[in-house]
């Protein structure tokens, strides 16, 4: 009876933990330093990825409130805003419309689930109508006060919609450059200059993770993925950050891998 009680408590705890990790969002904070900005300069990016059309409450108001309180300089949506099985994109578009009202500097790159959904053109058109900048295989120069930096994006590399050449055309190596790429497996490795920081998603951080073991499986990487989530130093000048994302795929469950958005601060070191 003691063993039965103990096992029941463990199972109940795992269920509660999984429910919390799946349905409650945390804010991950990440600081990046660069010599391309002066010591007293900084800008912020809020990265959102892999929502998969999930609703955390009515109209995703819980997410909207968090975004508004963070007040980022730029919002980057790195793909899989909808799921490949999504039959109505209006919830996603309504959510994005509220984001743009908070911050017009909102950018999007496509993920594999967008391309796997027959409504992807409807979504892309809807994003354009709501003034979201669709940055697939494009780039732009941004200014925050006196700070200048560059934002580039590629279409989803896991479905062969990427063109790194087009994405980087005309960029200036002297400015800090952020690349948005849904999947971390950009074909051209090492990442070409002038990319300083790449922001990705796609992996869901493994979605299911275990203490001492880590992530169990990730798309395109199989069991025990090398690149599941977090910050990776690719070389002495370039970094890759993988956000574990907001939503779920295949099964609507996370464990020891809570739903999240990442608030990134890029700081100058002179």
Cβ atoms of 232 and 242 within 8 Å: the answer is: yes
In this model, does residue 242 exceed pLDDT 90?
yes
Percent share of the chain, pLDDT over 90 = 81
Cβ atoms of 67 and 263 within 8 Å: the answer is: no
Helices (H) and strands (E) in the chain, counts: 6, 16
* Average pLDDT score over residue span 254-270: 95
| Structure tokens that stand for 155 in this block | 């279409």
Q: Encode pLDDT of 84-106 as tens digits.
A: 999 999 999 999 999 999 999 99
| Structure tokens that stand for 263 in this block | 């608030």
Mean pLDDT value across the chain: 93
Name the β-bridge partners of 139: 152
* Listed range (15-24, 109-118, 176-185, 191-200) with the worst mean pLDDT: 191-200
Give pLDDT, residue 247: 96
The strand pair at 222-223 and 230-233 is best described as: unpaired
Q: Which residues of 242-257 are buried (b: 16+ CB within 10 A; e: fewer)?
A: bbbbbbbbeeeebbbb
* Average pLDDT score over residue span 110-130: 98
Q: What is the CATH number of the domain that holds 65?
A: 3.60.21
Q: Encode pLDDT of 133-185 as tens digits.
A: 999 999 999 999 999 999 999 999 989 999 999 999 999 999 999 999 999 97
* Average pLDDT score over residue span 178-201: 82
The three-class DSSP label of residue 28 is strand
Q: How many domains does the chain have?
A: 1
Residue 1 binned pLDDT confidence (cut-offs 50, 70, 90):
confident
In this model, does residue 192 exceed pLDDT 80?
no
Q: Encode pLDDT of 22-33 as tens digits.
A: 999 999 999 999
For residue 224, what is the DSSP state?
S
Domain span at residue 264 reads 2-268
More reliable by pLDDT, 28 or 2: 28
In this model, does residue 189 exceed pLDDT 80?
no
- First and final C-alpha spacing in the chain: 65
* Cα gap 203→130, rounded to integer Å: 28
In this model, does residue 124 exceed pLDDT 90?
yes
**Cα separations in angstroms, 5 against 1, 12, 13, 39, 85:** 6, 10, 12, 57, 40
| Structure tokens that stand for 149 in this block | 């930096």
The pTM assigned to this predicted structure is 0.95
Highest mean pLDDT among 2-11, 204-213, 216-225: 204-213
């Amino acid at each position: 009876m003691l063993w039965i009680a103990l096992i029941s408590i463990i199972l109940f705890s795992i269920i509660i933990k999984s429910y919390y990790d799946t349905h409650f969002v945390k804010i991950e904070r990440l600081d990046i330093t660069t010599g391309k900005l002066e010591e007293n300069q900084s800008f912020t990016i809020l990265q959102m990825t892999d929502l998969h059309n999930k609703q955390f409450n009515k109209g995703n108001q819980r997410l909207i409130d968090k975004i508004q309180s963070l007040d980022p300089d730029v919002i980057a949506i790195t793909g899989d805003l909808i799921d490949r099985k999504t039959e109505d994109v209006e919830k996603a578009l309504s959510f994005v419309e509220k984001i743009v009202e908070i911050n017009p500097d909102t950018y999007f790159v496509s993920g594999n689930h967008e391309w796997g959904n027959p409504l992807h053109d409807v979504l892309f058109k809807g994003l354009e109508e709501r003034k979201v900048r669709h940055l697939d295989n494009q780039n732009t120069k941004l200014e925050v006060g006196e700070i200048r930096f560059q934002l580039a994006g590629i279409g989803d590399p896991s479905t062969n919609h990427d063109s790194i050449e087009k994405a980087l055309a005309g960029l200036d190596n002297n400015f800090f450059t952020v690349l948005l790429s849904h999947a971390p497996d950009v074909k051209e490795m090492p990442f070409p200059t002038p990319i300083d920081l790449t922001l990705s998603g796609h992996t869901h951080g493994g979605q299911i993770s275990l203490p001492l073991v880590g992530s169990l499986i990730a798309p395109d990487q199989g069991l025990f993925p090398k690149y599941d989530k977090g910050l990776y130093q690719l070389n002495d000048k370039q970094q890759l950050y993988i956000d574990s994302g907001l939503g779920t795929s295949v099964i609507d469950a996370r464990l020891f891998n809570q739903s999240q958005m990442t608030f990134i601060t890029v700081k100058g070191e002179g």
